[in-house]
Amino acid sequence: MSKAALDALVARFPDAVVAHGSWRGDEWAVVRGERLVELARWLRDEASPRFEMLVDLTAVDYLGYEGSDATPPSAQAPQPGEERFEVVYHLLALGKMKRLRLKVRLWEDAPEVDSLVPVWPGANWFEREAWDLYGIRFKGHPDLRRLLLYEEFVGHPLRKDYPKDKQQPLVGPTFTPARPFTGGRDLLTGPPEKAGLPAQTPPGAALERLGERTEPEAPSSPDKPASGA
Amino acid sequence: MSYTDHPTHEFDEAPPLGDAPPAGAPAGAGLDDAPALDTRVMDLNMGPSHPAMHGTIRMVLKLDGEKVVGSDVQIGYLHRGFEKEAENVGWTQVFPYTDRLNYVSPLLNNIGYAMGVEKMLGVTIPERAQWIRVVMGELSRLTDHLTCVGASAMELGGFSAFLYFLRAREELYKLIETCTGARLTVAYVRVGGLAADLPPGFAENCERALAETERLMADVDRLLTRNRIFYDRTRGIGTVSRDKAVAMGWTGPCGRASGIDYDVRRDAPYYVYPQLDWDVVVGAAGDNYERYLVRMEEMVQSMRIVRQALKGMPAGPIIVNDPKVALPPKEEVYNTIEAMVNHFELIMAGIQVPAGEVYSYTEAANGELGFYIVSEGAGRPWKCRVRPPCIPLMSTVSEMVNGYMLPDIVPTFGSVNMVGGECDR
């Protein structure tokens, strides 16, 4: 469908496109990560048709991938010990309804690629998701934190070496710990101090204190707020 | 450490208001003689357990009075690891998981996933299956839009509209149930076709349900469209320009309300949509009211599609006759050895999808629902990525609510039609 656009990309950046092809009507190109932003800007602003929209961004972990002999080149796994991840971008040219798939291959030890947020702001959450689930870093991302999981989660669950049934410790919200429950009896039968409450203000003292607002209030509970998770 | 001072929450620095004037400035400078009020920017957690947050969204807001000066939208409370699950089951077994993506329009997710796998296999489904998929998909779109509009109205106080639309939705769910056996968890579509044909009398029941829906839509239209309160709460609120929408990747009714003239059903036509007479609804203003109008009109168009499709539907098989893809009929399984072997192979090893990768996309109720599927050439997906139409919308919500009032979050968030199952997967 967008063969012409793919050819134009290859002609314009012959050294940045590592491989390209078409399968089942989807045009794809594997590009060098260090040239990605440059390519993306060209595709958005100057290519014909202009790919104005980043429809999707995701990553694939090819660890242990064994395509059969019929494997089209688009799905050939990177060699073991070399490139393990692919970051996949799906572009759409709105007026012409042309599509293009860009892929960047990344090494296992330092999966990192330039962020496309400056080109397509919509990449923001997609990149956060790829970081969350695959552990791929996006250089220059304004706010790269987990999207679906919580910060205390250990690991990146969509990696092929993350076991599906792995358990993570339950991390609850960190509240101020409550006083041990002593029931209401303390309040009824003993002096308030016994229940951990401040001593009762003698009548009339409140009126005297009206003028001294700056004085800090006595804490209602002796417990300190929790520090750290 | 508490949630509100979590180090990862970053906002644009809003200066605290009402601080003492800088040293050297004359007392009361710029404030006439009014005494400086002791106001400050307040943090407020909205959700995840909040009636207007549909249960699964948390917004950490910075408020100056009732004005939102900063917001952080946090999702993931409904994350179930759809992709990880899909990588560990057979191709057909993914269907129940897709039901739970957008659980208000499960049939559209079924269809989107099936199209992806069929694209990898190079399978064309029988004509009758195409027509039925169109009918069931549009019915699902109706239930989705009914829920969205009804819930938005309810959150603004229009409870009658909500009840009317839920009643219409109920009619459609009952109709869907007669065909699929379930209201929500349908798992009705199969790779290569459908699980079952339409039941007898479906067309008449459908016409009855559509007539009821039309009647209720007319009521809700009279209740909401020219309602002063509804109009004032939605018009000009949560506005998103076309450029912004394109940059963020908006599709679907929200994108069309912002002026993006894009509908997968027309622009990358699939099944029998090109043979039917219907219109793509495009707005311009890009605010909450426009999104409401687009959804209302799209329901009218969906009903047009359903009526035409039910009339034009040919007879024939509903699933491909390919023993590598679809289970053979039961009478053959029990009476012929070939069919029994095929049945055994499909059940035990599953459909063998050739190695490769495709991106397949359909128009779901919220926009372009994409499936990026990678196969190893085995009986289960290597990767099954869902491109949820909600995510680009939700990633914009923070900017859509900043600068507006706190109560404006409710219609803005409602009009985006976030569905937790699809957003968080």
pLDDT in tens, A136-149: 989 888 888 888 88
Instruction: Give CA–CA dist A183/B320, Å, rounded.
Output: 69
Given CB atoms, is A224 within the 8 Å cutoff of chain B? no
Q: Which residues contact B376 (CB under 8 A, 6 or more apart)?
A: A65, A66, A67, A68, B355, B382
Contact (CB, 8 A) for B91 and B97: no
CB-count burial class (<10 Å; 0-12, 13-18, 19+) for B304: middle
Given CB atoms, is A95 within the 8 Å cutoff of chain B? no
Q: Which 3 state secondary structure label does DSSP give B131? A: helix
Q: How far is A202 from chain B (nearest CA, A)?
A: 30
The pTM is what? 0.79
Contact (CB, 8 A) for A55 and B370: yes
Best mutation target, B49, B82, B251, B385, to test chain A (most A CBs within 10 A): B385
Q: Provide the pLDDT for residue B5.
A: 42
Residue B53 DSSP label: G
Q: Letter for the amino acid at A151?
A: E
CB contact under 8 A, B424 and A148: yes
Place of tokens 């639309």: B165
Instruction: Give CA–CA dist B182/B186, Å, rounded.
Output: 5
Instruction: Give CA–CA dist B424/B307, Å, rounded.
Output: 34
Q: How far is B217 from chain A (nearest CA, A)?
A: 32
Q: Which residues contact B71 (CB under 8 A, 6 or more apart)?
A: B11, B59, B60, B61, B62, B397, B398, B401, B402
Best mutation target, B2, B49, B77, to test chain A (most A CBs within 10 A): B2
Best mutation target, A51, A148, A165, to test chain B (most B CBs within 10 A): A148
Instruction: Give CA–CA dist A92/A56, Å, rounded.
Output: 9
Which residue in the set B359, B391, B395 is minimally distant from A90, CB to CB? B359
Query: How many CA atoms are closer than 13 Å to the CA of B100, on its beta-carbon side?
Result: 14
Residue-wise DSSP of B152-206: HHHHTT-HHHHHHHHHHHHHHHHHHHHHHS-SS----EETTEESSPPPTTHHHHH
Structure tokens of A170? 């339950």
Given CB atoms, is A147 within the 8 Å cutoff of chain B? yes
- Could you report the predicted ipTM of this complex, rounded to two decimals? 0.80
Burial profile B367-401: b = 16 or more Cβ within 10 angstroms, e = fewer: bbbbbbbbbbbbbbbbbbbbbbbbbbbbbbbbebb
Given CB atoms, is A4 within the 8 Å cutoff of chain B? no
CB contact under 8 A, A122 and B247: yes
Q: How far is B392 from chain A (nearest CA, A)?
A: 6
Would you give per-residue pLDDT tens digits along chain B (425 residues)?
Answer: 333 344 434 444 444 444 444 555 454 444 455 566 667 778 888 878 887 777 688 888 888 888 888 888 888 888 888 999 888 888 988 999 998 888 888 999 999 999 999 998 888 899 999 999 999 999 999 999 999 999 889 888 888 999 999 999 999 999 999 989 888 888 899 898 898 888 998 989 999 999 999 999 999 988 888 888 888 888 888 888 888 899 998 998 999 999 898 888 888 888 888 888 888 888 888 889 999 999 999 999 999 999 999 888 888 888 888 888 888 888 888 888 888 888 888 888 888 888 888 899 999 988 899 999 988 878 888 889 999 998 999 999 988 888 888 888 888 988 888 888 888 88
Tell me whether the omega of the peptide bond preceding residue B48 falls within 30 degrees of 0, making it cis.
Answer: yes
pLDDT in tens, A87-138: 999 999 887 788 888 888 888 777 888 899 999 998 999 999 999 999 898 9
Residue A46 has pLDDT above 50, yes or no: yes
For β-strands A137-139 and A98-107, DSSP reports them as unpaired
C-alpha distances (whole Å) from B227 to each of B152, B157, B231, B300 are 14, 12, 6, 20
Given CB atoms, is A94 within the 8 Å cutoff of chain B? yes
